[in-house]
Structure 1
Amino acid sequence: MKKTFKIYAVIFIVVMLILALLEVNKKETTSWRKNFDINEKSPFGLFVFSNEAKDLFKNNLRKIEKAPYEYYNQREKDPHNIIVIAKELDKESWKKILDQVSGGSDAMIIMSRVPKNVSDSIGFHSSDISFAEQNVLKLTDKKYQNDFIQLDKFPSGRGFSYIKPKVEVLGKTVEKDNTDQANFIKINFGKGTIYVHSEPLFLTNYYLLKPGNIKYAQDVFSYLPDRETLWFVENDTKVSRFFMRFVLSNPALKYAWWVFLGGLILFIFFNAKRKQRIVPVLEPLRNTSVDFVKSIGNLYLQEGDFHDMMAKKAQYFLNKIRIDLLIDTQNLDEEFAKKLHLKTGKTMEMIHEAIELIRKGQDPYANVMKEDLTRMNNLLDEILK
């Protein structure tokens, strides 16, 4: 090896060590950008609400990743609920939503800035009503008077400065030094109803994870009737199709990627003129993993210890449920069965049978047969598909 190559190799190693030390000592920063993204776990993303929305709407919720204009052009819909949360829509999509409401649907619009041409046609004007750093969101209905949310991080301060006489005020922004301002209104439009809330922050991760705040969100959506609900969500297909999106979005992986590319370029540059040595022919090492697994399986079959195999299969299954589906497996009760049913789509009969077999495998005094092991293995594998 030439002396020059050794020098560059040492420089490369030193640079890598410096970058590693800088990354280890780097402080994590929190992004407070109001992205309202259903996949974002940052404070102002909608990850928590997206995961809990199905239970909130009793499994009648569907997330639509198309624009309303495109979606309604492809099909006719009976009266239903429509939800739009901090999503920018084109004029044709707004027109489609208003047409659906006129025909008997109900729309819940939760966004700080509704386009002026839309708000004018509905019957209100929105504007900045406050620049305070904190305020409280309350509902006007007496049965909800104990449910409220205190906004202590970057409230939008948006509300309704003008409301037509027939528009009903359902919620307001309360501040210490200002008069109360409307932030949640109801408008009868044709055969349907439009609800407009000017502060989408109450649905973000930061506020929903605070104790008691979920009740306010439940109260707001309780105005919608119990029927099919369509939630039009953001869909950035250009970004999602880029295979390096995850690597470049993570600072540590991004630095590692650039260091790898730099090292690869240096390696190619300094070894471009090297002559290829004769490569000796070596027999590849035999992979004995499969043989080992077969030997262990045969050993269990010879011993006939079906109970131990059921216990291990149950332990593996519950661990997969905790990690992949984020379901607590401490109590295998009806609540556990319901959550597993919602997240896997399997029938309740199949899940109840699987739970009984798991309990049997965990019971050290249970009488276990080979048929029990076979049935349990088939059931658990089917649920995890």
Structure 2
Amino acid sequence: MNKTFKLYGLIFIIVMAILALLELSKTEVTDWRKNFDINEKSPFGLFVFNKEVNQLLNDKVKRTDLSPYDFYKTQKLKPHNILIIESKLDSESWNKILKNVEAGSDALVISEYFNQVIADSLGFSTTRISYEEYNRLLLTDLKFANDSLQLDKLPSGKGFDYVLESTEILGKEVTDSKMANFIKINHGKGHLYLHSESLIVTNYYLLKPENEKYVQDVFSYLPDRETVWFSGANKNVAESRSPLRFILANPGLRYAWWLLLGGLLLFIIFNAKRKQRIVPIIEPKKNKSVEFVKSIGNLYLQEGDFHDMMAKKAQYFLNRVRIDLMIDTKDLDEKFINLLHLKTGKSVEKITEATNLIKRGQDPYARVMQEDLIKMNKLLDEILL
């Protein structure tokens, strides 16, 4: 056994020992994040509610992952119930909900956040409520007087501080509070039920004794008919579709996977260091464009063909005028001179002189001298500078 394999073996043993120690010393940490995921069993997930909602609403629940906007683009339902739990809906989705409520549907929206534009249009606003150490959510209907829910973990602290006189207050934080957390708004033929404390349907509170009565009372305001629950809105993080999701979801397999990747990385690093060849130095290709241009220029000067050089310079200048300044160069008349004067700001006299030299360069029978070429080149460069 050579030294390389001994080194790999030693690294492997050390890494495995570290992972084993971490696994043994690991303590289970409770996830208190407000995820409102129907598949989460953490305190503030909706796993329990998702299992019990069918019984709560008499097996008339229709779940959908679509947003209200996308759902109602293809679905036309008779009056029904709409359920939204903790979702920041856009204005288009809210408009679809309000349109259905106006036609006779009832909507129960349980959320800390409400679209400000919709809130203004319906005549309510939200604010933060100052909770006491022990506080209970109560309903105003006397038949529910014995049913309440105590908030003792991370309440949203949200409530409705401004409502219209036509808005019915169904629930408060305490009996004598002016701050409502459950209201009813009549809209067209239907009703909107808005609750500002979404924690009431989470696993933590539903599993506490007697709390289910309060939740049943809240949902009892919905008529006994089909309920469309936009449950896809509660998924803050989309489910992974990676082929490795099963491996990454299990701690043991996940550690083995990362160990495999780490071992491969170490193998590549050590082997690359041993077997890397010397990279030859390749000289970059030289840019000889300037030398080429100088050679062509010297060739023209040696031939003494000033007329041809003037024609090519004129052609290049007119092409730039057409492309950069969008001026027609078919007729080099007074109109052309004035347009060039307006777009470049150069004097009419200078442009007129340059135009005459261009015409001479384009005339195959005109006699030109080296001085004419130099003068035209200078004028054209000044005009388009």
- Fold conserved between structures, TM > 0.5: yes
Structure 1, unaligned runs of 5 or more: 273-385
Q: What residue number does 1:72 align with?
A: 72
- 1:102 deviates by 0.2
CA-CA distance at 1:123 after TM superposition: 2.1
Asked whether the 8 Å contact 2:48–2:202 carries over to 1, the reply is: yes
After the TM superposition, which residues 141-290 of structure 1 pair with which residues of structure 2 at under 5 Å, given as runs?
141-174=141-174, 179=177, 181-234=179-232, 239-248=239-248, 252-266=252-266
Alignment of 1:358-373 (within 5 A): none
SS of equivalent to 1:19: helix
Instruction: State the alpha-carbon separation in 2 of the partners of residues 83 and 94 from structure 1.
Output: 12
Q: Tell me if the contact between 1:82 and 1:229 (Cα under 8 Å) persists in the aligned partners.
A: yes
Cα drift, residue 257 of structure 1: 2.0
What SS does the aligned partner of 1:240 have? coil
Tell me the equivalent position of 2:324.
none
Letter in 1 for 2:186: N
CA distance in 2, matches of 1:75, 1:207: 34
Give CA-to-partner distance per residue, 1:47-82, whole Å, 9 cap, x none.
Answer: 100011111111100111101111101121100000
Q: Which deviates further from its counterpart, 261-270 or 48-57?
A: 261-270
Let me know the Cα RMSD of the aligned residues: 2.3
Instruction: Give the SS at the match of 2:146.
Output: coil
> Which residue identity is paired with 2:202?
T
Supply the distance in 2 between the matched residues of 1:180 and 1:255 (Cα, whole angstroms): 54
Partners of 2:84 and 2:16 lie apart in 1 by 47
Which amino acid counterpart does residue 228 of structure 1 have in structure 2?
Answer: E
User: Residue 166 and residue 114 in structure 1: after superposition, are their counterparts in 2 closer, same or farther (change >3 A)?
Assistant: same
Name the larger-Rg structure.
2
Deviations 1:353-382 (A, max 9, x none): xxxxxxxxxxxxxxxxxxxxxxxxxxxxxx
Residues in 2 aligned to 1:36 and 1:238: alpha-carbon distance in whole angstroms: 13
8 Å CA contact 1:87, 1:233 repeated in 2:
no
Aligned to 1:85: 85
SS of the aligned residue for 1:161 comes to strand
Q: Per-residue displacement from partner, 1:162-209 (whole Å, max 9, x unpaired)?
A: 01001001111129xx94521101111000000000001010000001
Between the aligned partners of 1:114 and 1:14, the Cα distance in structure 2 is 53
Equivalent position SS for 1:174 = coil
Within 2, Cα distance between the matches of 1:256 and 1:214?
Answer: 43
Task: Return the alpha-carbon distance in structure 1 between the equivalents of residues 88 and 245 of structure 2.
Answer: 23
- Inter-partner Cα distance in structure 1 for 2:75 and 2:209: 41
Cα distance in 2 for partners of 1:238, 1:184 equals 30
Give the Cα–Cα distance (whole angstroms) in 2 for the partners of residues 160 and 250 of structure 1: 43
Q: What does residue range 124-143 of structure 1 map to in structure 2 within 5 Å?
A: 124-132=124-132, 134-143=134-143
Corresponding residue of 1:352: none
Shifted more, 72-81 versus 229-238: the winner is 229-238
Most deviating of 226-235 and 131-140: 131-140
User: How far apart in 2 are the matches of 1:168 and 1:243?
Assistant: 51
How many Å apart are 1:142 and its aligned residue?
0.8
Q: Which residue in the other structure is 2:16 paired with?
A: 16
Mapped to 1, the partners of 2:120 and 2:269 lie a distance apart of: 65
| Contact persistence 1:184–1:197 (CA under 8 A) | yes
Instruction: Give ranges in structure 2 of 5+ residues lacking alignment.
Output: 273-385
The residue aligned with 2:103 is 103
Aligned residues: 271
Query: What is the alpha-carbon distance in structure 1 between the residues aligned to residue 95 and residue 62 of structure 2?
Result: 21
